[in-house]
Chain A
Amino acid sequence: MSASPVFSSAVMGRPFIFSPRSSPRSITEKTAKKTSEILAQVGALSKLAAIVPASRLDARPSPEMVSSGIPQLDSLTGGLARGCLTEICGTASSGRTSVLLFALARATQRGEVCALVDASDAFDPVSAAAAGMELSRLLWVRCGEKYPLRKPPSAALTGRGKTGDSYQGMPSGIPQAAGNGCGFSRWESQLGQMLKVTDLLLQSNGFGMIALDLGDVPAQNARRIPLASWFRFRRAVEHTPTALLVLERQPIAGSCSSVLVKVSGARSQVSGKKLSAVSRQLSGNPPMHSELAHSELLDQFEIIAELLCSRLERKPVQSTASFKSRAAWAE
């Protein structure tokens, strides 16, 4: 018996399956041709004409960046992103309010209309004016308990000035003592107002910058803001020319913020030793105030900004930046 191979198809009297005309290469060409024909037909349908294949989708456009007014901070973060939420966090006396006011001042100088939602009613117009803010372009919303305007008490009791009905300024003579208003419900009420007001401002459009000041709100209260609210704000501000800033003690917006910057005052770290020395002097011997001039602390106040998180595509060149602030009276 011969050992020549016999193909089963030949045995059955049928032609070979893989004829020369049906090679794999020709099948691929056929498939490609048919696919292109089908795609052409699909593309011709009006309903499907607007559908773009996923492979051809462009990357999401980068947000427009505006200057915060502080070159060092701009080089760290790339500026403040329009259509995004930026968080600035820091402890007391860290310089976070100075950064916020300066960013607002810079925006108003550009001719933009800005809004400050002040959850704790702590905004100081004098500081803002000193930072160069055009106050007529800033909408100030003072959250707090709704109460009728108090008339200026008499001088015999308080020493406040004659101011008229429109006066609501900071008392400069004898300030009134604050009531026990640090309760939990107080912050809930103020935060509720802040959320409602922010929603309205974001819906009204046209603001160049909206800042939420939660600097005095305790962290445990600020964390009670539902994450859904921050998602809503992020969605509302998206694709708008508004830069949304949040000033807080600790990060609270989670993944909703595009940039998270932590601010700390270098003075407390660098000069701590020196201040402790003065402190000992103050407690023991008569104080020697000449050793530390007033301008030494408040002027050239060094602020360190640290970029904790950035969800923008721009890769930061550094993680920290430091800059100095000046006192309002310093030229």
Chain B
Amino acid sequence: MFACIFIPDFSVQAILRFEPELRVCPVAVLNGRPPLEKVVALNERARQTGVEIGATRSQLEAWENLALRARSESQEISAQAVLLDCAQSFSPEMEDTSPGTVLLNLAGLEPLLGPLPKIARDLAQRVSHVGLEANIAVTANPDAALLAAHGFSGVTLIPEGHEAERLGNLPVDVLLESFSSSFSSDAEEAARWVETFDRWGIRKLRALAALPEIPVSERLGQQGLRLQKLARGAASRNLRVLEPQLIFAESVELEYPIVLLEPLAFLLNRMLEQVCARLRARALAAQELHLNLDLAAAQSNGCASFTRTLRLPTPMLDAKVFLKLLQLDLQAHPPGAPIVKIHLAAEPARPRALQSGLFQPVFPEPEKLELTLARIAGIVGEGRVGAVELLDTHREGAFAVRRFAPVELPPADPKAKQSGNRKKDMSRPENDSACQVEEKFEENAKEKMSAVIALRLFRPPLGASVTLREAKPVRLRCLQREDIAGEIVWIAGPWRSSGDWPEQEGWSREEWDIAVSAESGLVLYRLVQDKLSGKWFLEGMYD
């Protein structure tokens, strides 16, 4: 059995996906160069008000409530991709027949997905969830399914052998419309066929199917015979199976440039929801998000666009989190010009799957952590939050701040954990657990464990005026802080180091550890002299 998903008024529905509030209004889609634009697609409400295909913009001025939209190829491509994703989630064998039409093979799916009526209903529901209204038809051959989907609205199920009977009531126009791509490439050819059938008095497919084959062949040729077979629902062919491409992207071309972040977030939310729905349909998550904005001012200058990329530490699938991350990123890096086109793409990845253990330490939720980091970066500034990494160099204190992405420890071996638990006495009160829970560790490491004297750095280092005696500092006065001054009561050093001397940015320094008397007692500092300039600095305080 084969199923056909057909989206009536596909150009309109592709636009309504991003503007669902227009579903209750009459909408006409225009195409062509201004001011010679003509209506190429309508929704049912617009048809009811009397608007016709081919009407010009000036003719449409008579309708007050009619919403006019320009045809958007990028939105049609996105809608078609969504349709293919929906079909892919049911059957791996599918054909991208034409924009708004997808055929899929349902053979062998009944044991997996239930009876055919249920599959057809589920298919309609899935397509409805992505913002499209589809006609679904299920028949024994693909062409009959295509014809039924074009002819009957809603879900249609035609049992095998009843195709001619059910399709017989459809007008001949539906047949020509359905197969216009394979029979007549231009409108004139289709009109000639319609005129011929009309002259013969054939208006329904039943009449066409009842004609004798030989006279039809003599008068209409092979194409006429093929049309008759299609009208009988007896034509059979194989599907041109489509290799699915893992591209998850959405585009929106805007009629008016967006200047504020709020309306942009409104559109981004819809696009992200669509992308997430598509990823979810394929059981995937997003590892990266690429946002490409075409700027109005940039078009005249020839600049391409404004691009931002969000790299996520773990694959995620939450449209709200993505939206907040994009908002925070755009707040930190505004585009700088009005936006006329939005393109959003997600890099697919397998979803994160990790079974946490009961005895594992607590770990922040990746989605929440990512949002928190983005918010903190908005408060303290870009590059001032993250994980520190020491650089492989002899330069004192060289480090880099990297992206904070801690890795959760894998669950421990249950056997080892059990034996460890036996050693712990769980009946003892919790408030004594500091030394009890890690008693063994403490006992083993007690000898080794001792706090390392830490240095508190002055960023940037404090300039100092130093009095020397026999090339050794004896008195100190800090230039920036008056409270750091006095006689040096203890000194050790110097430790000389230098590096990168072949480079332009070489360094050479002498380091002293000193103690200076203060109100609170002795304070220990690290005093540094730069040998290249001869200046003294207080680099930090031992604490």
Asked if A287 meets B472 with Cβ closer than 8 Å, knowing A62-B431, A75-B435, A297-B490, the reply is: yes
B470 close to chain A: CB less than 8 A: yes
Residue from the list A62, A136, A169 in contact with B429, Cβ < 8 A: A62
Task: Assess the B449–A71 pair: CB atoms within 8 A.
Answer: yes
Query: Among B12-20, B104-112, B457-465, which stretch is in contact with chain A?
Result: B457-465
Is B400 in contact with A168, judged by CB distance below 8 angstroms? yes
Is A293 on the interface with B (CB-CB < 8 A)? yes
Chain A proximity of B540: nearest CB distance (Å): 7
- Measured CB to CB, the closest approach of chain A to B410, in angstroms, equals 10
| Chain A residues within 8 Å of B469, by CB | 282, 286-287
Contact with B along A52-96 (1 / 0, CB 8 A): 000000000111111111110011001110000000000111111
User: Which residue of A has the minimal Cβ distance to B360?
Assistant: A111
In angstroms, Cα B469 to Cα A215, docked, is 33
A51–B380 Cα gap in the complex (Å)?
A: 47
Question: In the bound complex, do residue B451 and residue A61 qualify as a contact, i.e. CB atoms below 8 Å apart?
Answer: no
**1/0 per position for A189-226, CB-CB distance to B under 8 A?**
00001001100110111111000000110000000000
Which of A24-32, A36-44, A154-162 is the interface stretch? A154-162
Contact yes or no, A169 B399, CB < 8 A:
yes
Segment of A7-15, A229-237, A268-276 in the binding face: A268-276
Q: Could you tell me which residues of chain B, from 372 to 422, have a CB within 8 Å of some CB in chain A?
A: 372-373, 375-376, 379-391, 393, 395-402, 404, 406-407, 409
Interface size, A (range): 35 or more
Bound complex: CA A166 to CA B457 (Å): 19
Q: Which of B361, B384, B493, B509 contacts A110 (CB 8 A)?
A: B361
Bound together, the chains give a CA A191 to CA B375 distance in angstroms of 17
Q: Is the CB of A326 within 8 A of B452?
A: yes
**In the complex, B93 has a CB within 8 A of chain A:** no
A182/B480 in contact, CB under 8 A: yes
For the complex formed, measure the closest distance between the CB of A252 and the CB atoms of chain B, giving whole angstroms: 17
Contact of A139 among B387, B437, B455, B540 (CB under 8 A): B387
Interface centre among B442, B499, B520 (most CB of A within 10 A): B520
The answer to whether A275 touches B522, judged by C-beta atoms less than 8 angstroms apart, is: yes
Do residues B503 and A155 form an inter-chain contact, with CB atoms below 8 A? yes
Residues of chain B contacted by A178 (CB below 8 angstroms): 458, 460-463, 480
Contact of A325 among B399, B404, B451 (CB under 8 A): B451
**B456, CB-defined interface residue at 8 Å:** yes
Kindly state the separation between the CA atoms of A204 and B400 in the bound complex, as whole angstroms: 25
Interface residues of A in 174-196 (CB under 8 A from B): 174-180, 182, 193, 196
Task: Tell me whether B163 is interfacial, beta carbon within 8 Å.
Answer: no
Which chain B positions have C-beta within 8 A of A127?
452-455
* Known A79-B435, A95-B543; contact A101-B530, beta-carbon cutoff 8 A: no
Complex Cα spacing A69 to B435, Å? 10
Give the complex CA separation of A154 and B399 in angstroms: 19
User: Cβ of A289: which chain B residues have Cβ within 8 Å of it?
Assistant: 472, 491-492
B227: Cβ under 8 A from any A Cβ: no
**Main SS class of interface, B:** mixed
Complex: A10 Cα to B309 Cα, angstroms: 103
Q: Mark A253-274, 1 if CB is under 8 A from B, else 0.
A: 0000000000011011100100
Contact A173:B451 (CB < 8 A) given known A137-B406, A149-B383, A182-B480: no
Q: Is A246 an interface residue (CB 8 A)?
A: no
- Which B residues lie at the A interface, using CB under 8 A? 360-365, 368-369, 371-373, 375-376, 379-391, 393, 395-402, 404, 406-407, 409, 429-435, 437-438, 442, 446, 449-463, 469-470, 472, 474, 479-481, 487-493, 497, 499-500, 503-509, 513, 515, 517-518, 520-524, 528, 530, 532-533, 535, 537, 539-543
Interface CB pairs A-B, < 8 A, 13: A62-B431, A92-B523, A92-B543, A122-B457, A141-B385, A170-B397, A170-B461, A172-B398, A182-B481, A282-B488, A287-B474, A289-B472, A325-B453
- Supplied contacts A161-B499, A166-B402, A172-B507, 10 more A-B pairs, CB within 8 Å: A78-B432, A93-B522, A112-B361, A128-B388, A140-B386, A142-B380, A162-B505, A171-B397, A282-B491, A325-B453
A interface with B by C-beta (< 8 Å): 61-71, 74-75, 78-80, 91-102, 110-113, 121-132, 135-144, 146-147, 149, 152, 154-156, 158-163, 166-180, 182, 193, 196-197, 200-201, 203-208, 215-216, 241-242, 264-265, 267-269, 272, 275-276, 278-279, 282-283, 286-287, 289, 292-294, 297-299, 301, 303, 312-314, 323-328
